Structure 1
Amino acid sequence: MADPEHPYEYSTSAPVPATASGKRDADLAVVALICSCTGILFCGLSTVIGIVLGHVAYRRAGRGEVDGRGMALAAIIVGYTIVALWLSLLAVVLILLSGRN
């Protein structure tokens, strides 16, 4: 309720940019998820970037700075899963190559 003596209240903080839906952007989480998903094509190299960006986005979303906490968590999970798949594939190849000698 507004104070009758001061009907207009002013904020001293800078406004937070918002999208059309009124929510703050989750761009970092989107980039993290894209990098994690494309890691399967690039031998897991972009996955490492996706994991790091996912952790940064998850932390920022947890502090309430941006939206996209679920997307950041998905980027982390997908990233670690793809890294595990590539390491498993590498282990299988090394085992098969060592069995030939």
Structure 2
Amino acid sequence: MTAYTALRLLPWLSAEGKPCFLAPGDGGGIVSRLADETEARQLADGLDVLRSARRVLDDPVSPNAEVRYTAIRLTECLADVLRVAESRGRRLPQPGDDEGARS
């Protein structure tokens, strides 16, 4: 067992707009599963928005309102993906955490 016990950054904010964290466990709890499902949905939504954005931006006569809406959605998805990346990065074992590892 490793000594790595960082809190998990959850893929949503509190009602006050602050980050939410989950104490480490076995990963099988309800909140952990909900966070996993939310992250998967956020990543899938990001891919869908990216595909739509490419179509809008490839059309040189796309209306300004459509381009603006696309930029807003891309910004939302980028924020979600960066949060997922930060959360997953925090949970990666750090060098030296595994005392049994050999170089």
TM-score (norm 2): 0.42
- Which protein is richer in strand relative to its size? 2
- Which protein is richer in helix relative to its size? 1
Which structure is richer in relative contact order (CA contacts within 8 A, separation 6 or more)?
2
